[in-house]
Amino acid sequence: METERVSKSSKWFSGKSLRLSLHRRRSKSSSTLSSPNSPMSPCTPKKDSAKEDELREVFRCFDSDGDGRISALELRAYFGSIGEYMSHEEAQLAISDLDADQDNLLDFQDFSRFMKREANDNDDDMKMAFAMFEIEKGSGCITPKGLQRMLRRLGDARSYDECVAMIQAFDIDGNGVLDFYEFNQMMA
């Protein structure tokens, strides 16, 4: 039942517009992130605080009256502002699915809990996609050859030089390959 409730809410809260909004905010503020293979921990207290600040900023986009809670009307207004229609019934269902205290409003904790769960699911999806592009499994990098091979499998035949150019566009450290962080930037 819990999985069913979360998946219904996911339809609205994890739409491309919201994900892109969160990802763009994250990528602007975390340009110094290390790769997943780096000895530095990716979740330091400072970064956790920055992520919470970003999440609060997104929450405020939904909470138009600033009362610290998201109502069905505010939910509908937000999705309407990004060009997606949401009926009153759908808004109520999404809220009731996520509302821990059953007051028919989403507070920051409800919103945060859901978004963190969605972010973890999205990270898992990105890790699986990244692994598909690795020629040498577990190497932690995508080479031009690996990119070319996977694009060919997807029906997009590119030359080796085109793949080199694609990688160069997102190769932050200039080593000629994409690590997981650079791959995330490319996919955004």
CATH number attached to the domain at 50-122: 1.10.238.10
Dihedral over Cα of 80, 83, 88, 94: its sign:
negative
Do 44 and 50 touch, CB atoms closer than 8 A? Answer: no
- What φ, ψ does residue 187 adopt, rounded to 5°? -80, -15
- The answer to whether 50-122 and 134-187 have equal CATH topology is yes
Predicted confidence at residue 185, as pLDDT, reads 82
Break the chain into its structural domains and give their ranges. 50-122, 134-187
pLDDT in the model for residue 41: 35
Do 118 and 97 contact (CB within 8 A), yes or no? no
Q: Return d(Cα 142, Cα 130) in angstroms, integer.
A: 8
pLDDT beyond 90 at 138: no
The two three-digit tokens of residue 80, written as one number: 């309407």
Architecture per CATH, 134-187: Orthogonal Bundle (1.10)
The three-state secondary structure class of 31 is: coil
pLDDT of 3 strictly over 80: no
Q: What is the mean pLDDT of the chain?
A: 77
Question: Tens of pLDDT along 67-126?
Answer: 999 999 998 998 888 888 889 999 999 898 889 999 999 999 999 888 877 777 777 888
How confident is the model over 49-66, as pLDDT tens digits?
777 888 899 899 899 999
